Structure 1
Amino acid sequence: MEIYQFINSFYKLIEINLNLKLDFSGVAVFLLTIVFFSSKDAINNSQKMDNENKYVGMWVTKDGYIRHELLPNNRYDEARGNRKSAYQGDYKITVDHIDYKDDTGFVADGDFKNDILYHAGMILYREKVQ
């Protein structure tokens, strides 16, 4: 009975505010369409966030000289040797591709494959959390 009351209230709202004449089934279809597309967007956004978040963390070259820390706020901090924060900037991940733009405007990119980051001729491995 609650859904019927909700649809009926929504029907009256549409009729009064939008001056549309829809029958009861038209309102129901309209509401279901809104719910469908809203949930579809929520799922897509959730998948996008999951994809971006799966790469957050520290990525290092085999010798440990270069370290990229991908932060959850789409910022990165790159250390080189003893120079902590040698470069900082923004990153954007699309599927398994990463685009970097440091704070000076320099851009670079890379690709993740099998939990390895290939970036600018370098190979970086995910640092294991202990």
Structure 2
Amino acid sequence: MTTHPYVGMWVTSDGHIRHELLPNGRYDEARGNRQSAYQGRYTIEGNHIEYVDDTGFTADGEFIDGVLYHAGMVLYREEPKEGGEY
């Protein structure tokens, strides 16, 4: 199985919103101190991402020059620390 290059953690500049794109096509979004505020699945075609959360809510975004633009938010890739933790 090949891991998509966009898999990993994406974070707003203030660290308030954190999207973890998992290699199995699922995502986990934290907001502030609320871990797993939203969870669901995602698909990526080219630079476009589609989200469907577990309640059925949908959203989308675009990856442009290494930045994720999603629902009025700007998220930047966060590299994992040693050991793979974010």
TM-score, normalised with respect to structure 1: 0.60
The Cα offsets for residues 31-69 of structure 1, whole Å up to 9 and x where unpaired, read as xxxxxxxxxxxxxxx9xx56xx10000000000000000
- Higher normalized helix content (fraction of residues): 1
RCO comparison, higher one (Cα < 8 Å, 6+): 2
Pairing 1:119–2:66 present: no
- Quote the residue 2:9 is aligned against: 58
The Cα offsets for residues 73-111 of structure 1, whole Å up to 9 and x where unpaired, read as 000000000000000000000000000000000000000
1:129 deviates by: 2.6
- The within-5 A match list for 1:5-84 is 53-84=4-35
- Quote the residue 1:128 is aligned against: 79
> Which consecutive residues of structure 2, in runs of 5 or more, have no partner in the other structure?
82-86
User: Which protein is bigger by CA-based radius of gyration?
Assistant: 1
Pairing 1:107–2:54 present: no
Query: SS of 1:64's equivalent?
Result: coil
TM-score, normalised with respect to structure 2: 0.90
Distance 2:50 2:66 in 1: 17
Runs (4+) of structure 1 moved beyond 6 Å?
Answer: none
Amino acid at match of 2:70: H
Amino acid at match of 2:50: D
Aligned length: 81
1:128 deviates by: 2.1
> Which consecutive residues of structure 1, in runs of 5 or more, have no partner in the other structure?
1-45
